[in-house]
Amino acid sequence: MALVNEHFLKLPGSYLFSDIAKKINTFKITHPKQDIIRLGIGDVTRPLPPVCIEAMHKAVDEMADESTFRGYGPEQGYDFLIEAILKNDFAPRGVHLSPSEIFINDGAKSDTGNIGELLRWDNSMGITDPVYPVYVDSNIMCGRSGVLGEDGKWSNVTYLPCTEENHFIPELPTHRVDLLYLCYPNNPTGTTLTKTELKKWVDYALDNDTLIIFDAAYEAYIREDDVPHSIYEIKGAKKCAIEIRSFSKTAGFTGLRCGYTVVPKELTAATLTGDRVALNKLWLRRQCTKFNGTSYVTQRAAEAIYTPEGKEQVKANIDYYMQNASTMKEGLEAAGLKVYGGVNAPYLWLKTPDGISSWRFFEQMLYEANVVGTPGVGFGPSGEGFIRLTAFGRHDDCVEAMKRIRKWMA
């Protein structure tokens, strides 16, 4: 008989956002006339940039013509998109990569979960806490996380708390770990690291032969000059880091699905005998075996965001969301609440008042203000006592939500 991968049985009963959806549906059944404003799940609301629509229409027409039809594309992505990425995302920041170091994907979530396939199941790992759930859950699935303790922590995971006391800047591990996940600008706290702070992590990785998985999905939202957009802005990072990016929040591709992963050729990992193996070649082999590439039509849409018109349209959408973040931050502070983030990221990290638990405050805000957030404890033990709010809603809804919260907290 077939035996199940029992590591899957260690996963929580359902995904965080599924639990939230169930609670919202229960509320809607019992309060059918109430209008809910959803500021919880980080899905965008602005439509795709017009240049992307135009590019897709053209690409679809090409697929209807025998002379321009495309079948299977290169698993690592088309050259036209890779060249646009190198020219626009990295070269202006003094980062030089080769085309073969870029791998186009169907969104950052997939590669974030799959990248661990390159590594043995018994590698130790470190995560900032709170953290995007996929980092932990994907490692649970292969047995890398160990067993869950009564304190809500996994035995083979080193937790690096991000708290008010340390200004949400985690301390370096006190021992070496094999694998380290960093996300900046951070989801869920909306906070960032300066170049000096990020250099400490790169130096740690180089000194300890640690592999960093750097999630830069929100780099387009950075506003402050001293915040790096790529880990490769830090000297030596190509020897210790994989960077994963997404067009989902940058250009509204949550429903279209496209992003990319950078695996430098300088990056290696060891065998049990001490031999060094280039991860770039392993990832290429993995992708060629398990992934047939992102669609041609989608990649043409992604290419279009790098045109002059595309850059303007993408910037307009990002400015729209960051204006939401500013409006929400001001509104929450006016209500007497403590809130972090919202300056270089579309997320706000709201401290619950009077020590109320995350889930309790979530339910109070839903039932009494009809506003939905995400309980911070769902992102890890250090998230208890916080709520994550997103700035991806419609502006009028964000304004109305702040009115409701101010009235509720009065």
Sequence-ordered list of residues with C-beta below 8 angstroms from that of 275, at least 6 positions apart, any chain: none
339 and 349 Cβ atoms separated by less than 8 Å: yes
Sequence-ordered list of residues with C-beta below 8 angstroms from that of 319, at least 6 positions apart, any chain: none
Pairing, β 276-278 against β 268-270: antiparallel
Check the annotation: does 257 bind a ligand: yes
Cα angle 216, 392, 242; round to 5 = 10
309 and 382 Cβ atoms separated by less than 8 Å: no
Check the annotation: does 407 bind a ligand: no
DSSP H helical ranges for 185-307: 195-208, 248-251, 279-290, 296-304
Check the annotation: does 190 bind a ligand: no
Check the annotation: does 248 bind a ligand: yes
Check the annotation: does 300 bind a ligand: no
Check the annotation: does 324 bind a ligand: no
Query: How crowded is residue 165: how many other Cβ atoms within 10 Å of its Cβ?
Result: 7
Q: Name the amino acid, one letter, at 344.
A: N
Check the annotation: does 340 bind a ligand: no
Query: How crowded is residue 316: how many other Cβ atoms within 10 Å of its Cβ?
Result: 11
Q: Where are the beta strands (DSSP E) in 187-326?
A: 211-215, 241-246, 259-262, 268-270, 276-278
Sign of CA dihedral 161, 388, 24, 409: positive
Check the annotation: does 281 bind a ligand: no
Check the annotation: does 246 bind a ligand: yes
Return d(Cα 39, Cα 131) in angstroms, integer. 18
Q: Name the amino acid, one letter, at 30.
A: T
Check the annotation: does 72 bind a ligand: yes
**Which of 64, 63, 81 has the alpha carbon at shortest distance from 72?**
63
Q: Is 185 left (phi over 0), alpha (psi -120 to 50) or beta?
A: beta
| 3-class state of residue 38 by DSSP | strand
Check the annotation: does 176 bind a ligand: no
Check the annotation: does 15 bind a ligand: yes
Return d(Cα 391, Cα 339) in angstroms, integer. 13
Return d(Cα 111, Cα 104) in angstroms, integer. 10
**Which of 317, 350, 130 has the alpha carbon at shortest distance from 220?**
317
Check the annotation: does 152 bind a ligand: no
Check the annotation: does 38 bind a ligand: no
Helix (H) / strand (E) containing 34? none
Return d(Cα 321, Cα 328) in angstroms, integer. 10
- Binding site as annotated, residues for pyridoxal 5'-phosphate: 72, 108-109, 132, 187, 218, 246-248, 257, 292
- Binding site as annotated, residues: 15, 42, 72, 108-109, 132, 187, 218, 246-248, 257, 292, 388
- Binding site as annotated, residues for substrate: 15, 42, 109, 132, 187, 292, 388
